[in-house]
Amino acid sequence: MTNSRLIWIDLDNLVLMEDNPNEMTPEEFQQLVEEMAIQGPEKTMPIEVCYSYDGRYFVGDGYHRVKAAEKLGWKKIRAVLYPELTPEDMKVLSFKRNRTRGTLNPIKEGLLFLKEQENGLTIKKIAKKYNVTEDYIKKRIIVARNIPREVWSKIEGRLGVGYWYEIARLKDPKKQYWIAKKAINECLSKREVKQLVDYLSLPTSVEIPDFTQDFLSHISPRKRKGDTSRSISPDSTMGKLKREVEVNVVKEFFEKVAFLEVAEVFLNNLKNIVKSEVFLKHLEYYIIFRRKLLKSTILYKRSGSLYRAVISDRELKIDMKVSKKFRAIHYALKILDPQIQSFESVDWSREGKWFKILVKNFDKLDFLQIASDALTEDELKLLEDKLISIKNLVEKRVIKISSK
């Protein structure tokens, strides 16, 4: 680039890079316009150009300066001409410079890489040309393919590729725009954006009338008028604790979810599970360092296949395929493994089609419900024998402690 020289060029004689990946916020661009207005054409930093294929000048560095000059009504601008470089050389040079400055738009980068693919270059060759990793190229191409121009062109502000990569998982442009705007306006973290995308990307086609009312009435039963009795039935201790835990789970889940707008989506997806044949429900309630953590695992059958759903204050995953070799007894025995549990109490009962187990230790509560038809007679006997042995151990420990 030793043959470079400083020249004046008419703005009409310039060719700008399409989808220039360099990015400026509206505030930054306005500041540039004001600075150039004070400096004037003679003192504004020259742009960098080479000869274009149509005989004009291709702008490799200075896209926003040209736009600002047009806004100011200038006719000409100073430029450094590199006659030995091609527009392709200038694109790569501009990319490397702006990447160092940290001002590249990941979607526009993806569009640039897509054009390189259209010109016959492989991912490997594009990565070598721009001196980046193949993963760097792939992520930006995925983003560029899945985020339409009508979305990203309307977003005022910067989002990194990690944000756009999560948003690109949604197929609805309206949802993409809403999340991107929310992420910028509310300074959301990437984890919060991922959580929100997880909620909004779930299916919501199944409708069950009055599901919400039935669900709420189930976890919060009303007292009968005039019922002042405090007598407790054999199974009421576990039932009362179960209801209290379930109420807390729902209450705390919605309190911890940062996005109240997706509560309806959350409930709609529970409808999908209820519509299926649920055969195992596992509620885990942790208290670690005074912090409560909630998690519910549900296994269900639909159209001959087994699925798993995980619902917690940190994630919501539905319709995860499970092997047909899965056995509910193995799942239950793992929970009842004394190597991983410090049992404080254990109770179980049969209610209708459900075999219910409540295990409590010093920092965790497990409430497990297994459908009767998910267990053979031998498995059910094995499970009951295991529970009896654990209960005996717990009672011996309690007696031993109290005798001291």
For residue 77, the model assigns a pLDDT of: 94
CA gap 30, 371 in Å, rounded: 65
For residue 68, the model assigns a pLDDT of: 92
Q: Which residues pair with 285 in a beta bridge?
A: 294, 365
CA gap 272, 205 in Å, rounded: 8
Q: Which residues pair with 366 in a beta bridge?
A: 284, 359
Structure tokens at 11: 């703005």
Site of tokens 């056995």: 327
Site of tokens 């992420």: 183
Structure tokens at 154: 């309307």
Closest CA to 60 of 20, 108, 29: 20
CA gap 261, 279 in Å, rounded: 30
Domain edges within the chain = 1-103, 208-219+236-326, 334-404
Residue pLDDT, tens place only, 254-298: 444 444 445 555 666 666 677 788 899 888 876 644 455 677 888
Closest CA to 352 of 378, 327, 370: 370
Q: Give the residues of the chain that fall short of pLDDT 50.
A: 203-249, 251-261, 288-290, 339-340, 398-404
Residue 300: which residues within 8 A CB-CB, separation 6 or more? 273, 276, 277, 278, 279, 306, 307, 309
What is the 3-class SS of the chain, one letter each residue?
A: CCCCEEEEEEHHHEECCCCCCECCCHHHHHHHHHHHHHHHHHHCCCEEEEECCCCCEEEEECHHHHHHHHHHCCCEEEEEECCCCCHHHHHHHHHHHHHHHCCECHHHHHHHHHHHHHCCCCHHHHHHHHCCCHHHHHHHHHHHHHCCHHHHCCCCCCCCHHHHHHHCCCCCHHHHHHHHHHHHHCCCCHHHHHHHHHHHCCCCCCCCCCHHHHHHHHHCCCCCCCCCCCCCCCCHHHHHHHHHHHHHHHHHHHHHCCCHHHHHHHHHHHHHHHHCEEEEEEEEEEEECCEEEEEEEEEEEECCEEEEEEEECCCEEEEEEECCCCCHHHHHHHHCCCCCCCEEEEEEEEECCEEEEEEEECCEEEEEEEEHHHCCHHHHHHHHHHHHHHHHHHHHHHHHHHCC
For residue 245, the model assigns a pLDDT of: 46
CA gap 359, 279 in Å, rounded: 19
Residue 244: which residues within 8 A CB-CB, separation 6 or more? none
For residue 206, the model assigns a pLDDT of: 28
How many other CB atoms sit within 10 Å of the CB of residue 79?
A: 24
Closest CA to 371 of 285, 284, 263, 299: 299
The sign of the torsion formed by the CA atoms of 139, 62, 153, 195 equals positive
Return the CATH fold of 1-103. 3.90.1530
Closest CA to 189 of 134, 117, 259: 259
CA gap 156, 180 in Å, rounded: 10
CA angle 287/193/146 to nearest 5° reads 145
Residue pLDDT, tens place only, 88-129: 888 888 887 777 665 678 888 898 899 889 889 999 999 998
